[in-house]
């Protein structure tokens, strides 16, 4: 029986844009595990209530239910060790730092560039909830959060310097081959790719070149993803 995953979808059920769900999609593909993805909407809390919380990704693997992309990566590694997502225990610990860095630096930076674009692609039934919850989080309207992004994007790009330095010197964050660290960052970059036409990266950025390679990994899984 294949793993089942609740995956955030837009108004178009084929549009899957969650950065956390993409981390899990990459991790499953890395392991070569088949998955059945079920489109999920913000207002569909009842569908994932059995996981004991209200966010996706959630996976069901036989009798085991796991929520949270990091916990899912650990579940997959512990239950399907080969090919490894982390390499070894030290690398797993380092990947945890990459996860925290992506959440703390990348997620907030990207949200401030594309939050209104997200609003434009989500299901109409999700829009009131999304506007209300995100405007409360940012303390301003979605329009104000996203305003002036052409001048602000440069500061976001600068915040990715550590990534740029590493990817300028080695092919993958995992070294000679992609690892879960690559899945985390690529999953995060799938977010703007799948809900916005705004370029968060400059074309000549080494991070953009690496991302192109990640789009081609796993049979071109991410390149085939529906875009707005």
Ligand X SMILES: N[C@@H](CCC(=O)N[C@@H](CS)C(=O)NCC(=O)O)C(=O)O
Map residues 101-130 to x or -, x wherever contact with ligand X holds by CB under 6 A. ------------------------------
Q: Which stretch binds ligand X (CB under 6 A): 12-20, 76-84, 192-200, 205-213?
A: 12-20
Residue numbers 58-87 binding ligand X by CB under 6 A: 68-70
Q: Tell me how far CA of residue 148 lies from CA of 61, 144, 155, in angstroms.
A: 44, 8, 12
Q: For ligand X, which is the closer residue by CB, 23 or 31?
A: 23
C-alpha to C-alpha distance for 24 and 4, rounded to whole angstroms:
12
- The minimum distance between CB 210 and ligand X, in angstroms, equals 22
Angle (CA) 96 73 17, round 5°: 95
Q: Residue 61 has what DSSP assignment?
A: E
Contact between residue 159 and residue 105 where contact means Cβ atoms under 8 Å apart: yes
- The minimum distance between CB 107 and ligand X, in angstroms, equals 9
Give the nearest residue (CB) to ligand X. Answer: 55
C-alpha to C-alpha distance for 91 and 94, rounded to whole angstroms:
5
- Asked if 42 is part of the footprint of ligand X (rule: CB under 6 A), the reply reads yes
Site residues for ligand X per CB under 6 A: 8, 18-20, 42, 54-57, 68-70
């Amino acid at each position: 029986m294949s793993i089942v995953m609740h995956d955030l979808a837009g108004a178009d059920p084929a549009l899957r844009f969650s950065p956390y769900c993409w981390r899990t999609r990459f991790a499953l593909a890395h392991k070569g595990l088949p998955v059945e993805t079920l489109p999920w909407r913000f207002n569909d809390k009842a569908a994932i209530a059995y996981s004991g919380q209200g966010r996706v990704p959630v996976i069901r693997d036989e009798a085991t239910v796991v929520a949270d992309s990091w916990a899912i990566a650990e579940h997959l590694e512990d239950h399907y060790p080969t090919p490894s997502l982390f390499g070894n225990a030290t690398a797993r610990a380092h990947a945890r730092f990459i996860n925290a860095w992506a959440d703390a630096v990348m997620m907030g930076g990207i949200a401030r560039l594309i939050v209104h674009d997200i609003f434009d692609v989500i299901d109409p039934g999700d829009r009131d909830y999304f506007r209300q919850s995100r405007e409360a989080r940012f303390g301003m309207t979605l329009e104000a959060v996203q305003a002036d992004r052409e001048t602000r994007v440069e500061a976001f790009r600068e915040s990715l310097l550590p990534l740029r330095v590493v990817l300028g010197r080695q092919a993958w964050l995992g070294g000679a081959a992609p690892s879960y660290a690559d899945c985390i960052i690529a999953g995060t970059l799938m977010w703007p790719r799948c809900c916005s036409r705004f370029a968060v990266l400059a074309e000549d950025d080494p991070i953009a070149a690496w991302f192109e390679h990640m789009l081609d990994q796993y049979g071109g899984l991410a390149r085939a993803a529906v875009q707005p």
